[in-house]
Chain A
């Protein structure tokens, strides 16, 4: 009985006393904040499309990922209330990103270190000439 309570209390500490004086539940964000975030998100969407029209070489990829990450942070922090959450939830929101970073980073590093990429496998079609062509 008491052990059950002790098991659950860490989830409730912090947020219950300090951040949520009104209800003891989730944080309430002013509606105007949501509207401002939406406007910034729409602006960043137009920006990322605009930048992709300009040829910056490899920097196109960098800019696209950076802008997408800013948008993702805005959605997570404000729409998903992550900015106002307890440390435990922030931890569990961040840890899959660390694993994802290791997964993508180590796989790309491993592949780039191999001299013959399609060694031992069926040859992969890399020429765009054989692709169907279509007009927009």
Chain B
């Protein structure tokens, strides 16, 4: 196998040298960069490009949830009474506790990003541990809510309101679970002392994602639990 590759190399000596010349003429060709050649760009450019990329992703996330929000708006205006009565079956106290839990998690995430901006890796771990704890608490409360609904015979098929309730909170819950994984990854980077005053992109970008998860819940809580 290796000998075959060797002869293959020798059979095109001209092509190989031509490629080298090409490389010298246009060193740092944008589209031909091998993986790991991020240093061809300025670190500041890399940081701003990464952050811009995350904001683009968040734009798609807003529209991803937006379809379900549009469905909610339409059916809420059409079947106002049904939505109002169904909404009363949700436990607004648990929803409210989950709102506070997510707001605190966003606060500790903001502090974690601030710590990363100062290159304080130990504080990043502490802050993100609180965020992680809040995220886990959120999922436990969500589990209690779901299982209570199922026990009382309420399923997505019960009516339009609960179909949208399970879709919206389920999709949001998936985002929380993905967020837990992303936060754990950032914590592992902080444990390796990766963040400094000049490099904290992963922490900030995951922070942006986590704040969006909080933002979606800020709308879900009053729409589903309070006004119906």
Interface contacts beyond A68-B223, A72-B218: sample of 10 additional A-B pairs, CB < 8 Å, sorted by A: A4-B28, A28-B117, A34-B111, A60-B226, A72-B215, A75-B218, A95-B59, A117-B78, A126-B82, A131-B159
Instruction: List chain B residues, Cβ under 8 A from A60.
Output: 226-227
Shortest 9 CB-CB distances between A and B: which pairs?
Answer: A128-B85, A52-B226, A64-B222, A4-B30, A96-B59, A96-B62, A38-B107, A100-B66, A134-B152
A65 within 8 Å of B (CB atoms): yes
B49 within 8 Å of A (CB atoms): yes
Instruction: List chain A residues, Cβ under 8 A from B26.
Output: 1
- Label chain A's interface by main secondary structure: helix
- Label chain B's interface by main secondary structure: helix
- Inter-chain CA distance A60–B106, complex, in Å, is 27
Instruction: List chain B residues, Cβ under 8 A from A126.
Output: 79, 81-82
Instruction: List chain A residues, Cβ under 8 A from B51.
Output: 26, 89
Chain B residues engaging chain A, CB cutoff 8 angstroms = 26-30, 41-42, 44-45, 47-49, 51-52, 55-56, 58-60, 62-63, 66-67, 69-70, 73-74, 77-79, 81-82, 85-86, 89, 91-92, 96, 99-100, 103-104, 106-107, 109-111, 114, 117-118, 152-154, 158-160, 197-198, 200, 204, 207-208, 211-212, 214-215, 218-219, 221-223, 226-227
With A12-B45, A16-B44, A128-B86 already in contact, the answer to whether A25 and B117 are too (CB < 8 A) is yes
Interface string of A74-96 (1 = CB under 8 A from B): 01101110000010110011011
Q: What's the count of A-B pairs with C-beta under 8 Å?
A: 180
Instruction: List chain A residues, Cβ under 8 A from B208.
Output: 80
- Inter-chain CA distance A50–B212, complex, in Å, is 25
Is A92 within 8 A of B218, CB to CB?
no
Instruction: List chain B residues, Cβ under 8 A from A61.
Output: 227
Q: How far is the CB of B4 from chain A (nearest CB, A)?
A: 36
Is A42 within 8 A of B63, CB to CB?
no
Is A67 within 8 A of B222, CB to CB?
yes
Chain A residues engaging chain B, CB cutoff 8 angstroms = 1, 3-4, 8, 11-12, 15-16, 23-26, 28-29, 31, 34-35, 37-38, 41-42, 45, 48-49, 52, 60-61, 64-65, 67-68, 71-72, 75-76, 78-80, 86, 88-89, 92-93, 95-97, 99-100, 103-104, 107-108, 111-112, 117, 124-128, 131-132, 134, 136
Is B219 within 8 A of A72, CB to CB?
yes
Is A38 within 8 A of B63, CB to CB?
no
